[in-house]
Structure 1
Amino acid sequence: MPVAVDHGPCVAMHSVTLGRMRDQRSDLGATAASWDTSRMAAYLIVNVTATGAVAELAEYRDRVGATVEPYGGKYLARCSSPEVWEGEWDADQVVLVQFPDLESARAWNESAEYRAIAPLRTSNAKSVRLLVDGLE
């Protein structure tokens, strides 16, 4: 199923630093090392800057959603004009994908379905991809 690209305003996202996460975990009586993140939501955050063939990037966008869904992934945001509150943002687009947990996100990233289309992105864009675990 093709994934629509939102070129309009983005929904503001709140980020939590790892330090704050550790503090919150400690407040709950658990150390960061013993905290079970296996069933917490995981988030893929991607900053993308086009560097090559726009048509191939469009094909990637059209096909990637079908590879995410079987792993429980859901696009939460895809935006080319985020509201920058601090610092400099120089990418063309930011993407936020939620997975049920880190294991599902990693399985998607290594899947044959995703690996088959990944070169459409990697050959035509500069990307920074971050996988982070959620708090719940």
Structure 2
Amino acid sequence: MVAYVIVEPMEVSDAEAFQAYRPLGAAAVKAHQGLYAARGADAVPLEGDWTPQKLTLLQFPSLDLARGWYDSPEYRAARAVRAGAARLRLVAFDGTGG
């Protein structure tokens, strides 16, 4: 049962701190069996009023592993580095339509 996490960067106020966060976040994704299906991809709005500039799509073997990644000590440490440097939107969902 595959799961996905969509990440939308909303605002980056400290590019240097955000760059320091990225490898920490990537290591946490890998440590929790996740992978990047797309990273920093340009978004092309097709319908509605959602107009993100860039999107990242993470894939995990299950929604439980995605949740475990987000709540993990590794990703909490990455989020601490990102704190005050960038605001993101993240949403996880079951990719099987479950």
Smaller-chain TM-score range?
0.7 to 0.9
- Which aligned pairs between 1:10-89 and structure 2 lie closer than 5 A? 40-89=1-50
Equivalent pairs, count: 97
Which whole-Å CA distance do the structure 2 matches of 1:117 and 1:109 have between them?
Answer: 10
Instruction: Give the greater-gyration-radius structure (CA).
Output: 1
Aligned residues: CA RMSD: 1.8
**Scaled by the length of structure 1, what TM-score is found?**
0.64
What percent identity do the matched residue pairs reach? 34
1: CA distance, partners of 2:9 / 2:82 = 9
* Aligned equivalents of 2:48, 2:16: Cα separation in 1: 31
Q: Which has the higher contact order (CA 8 A, sep 6+)?
A: 2
C-alpha contact 1:41 1:98 (8 A) present in aligned 2: yes
Distance 1:100 1:63 in 2: 20
Question: When the two structures are superposed, what TM-score results if normalisation uses the length of structure 2?
Answer: 0.85
| Larger proportion of strand | 2
Gaps of 5+ in 1: 1-39
Shift of 1:57: 0.6
Q: Contact 1:50–1:92 at 8 Å: present in 2 too?
A: no
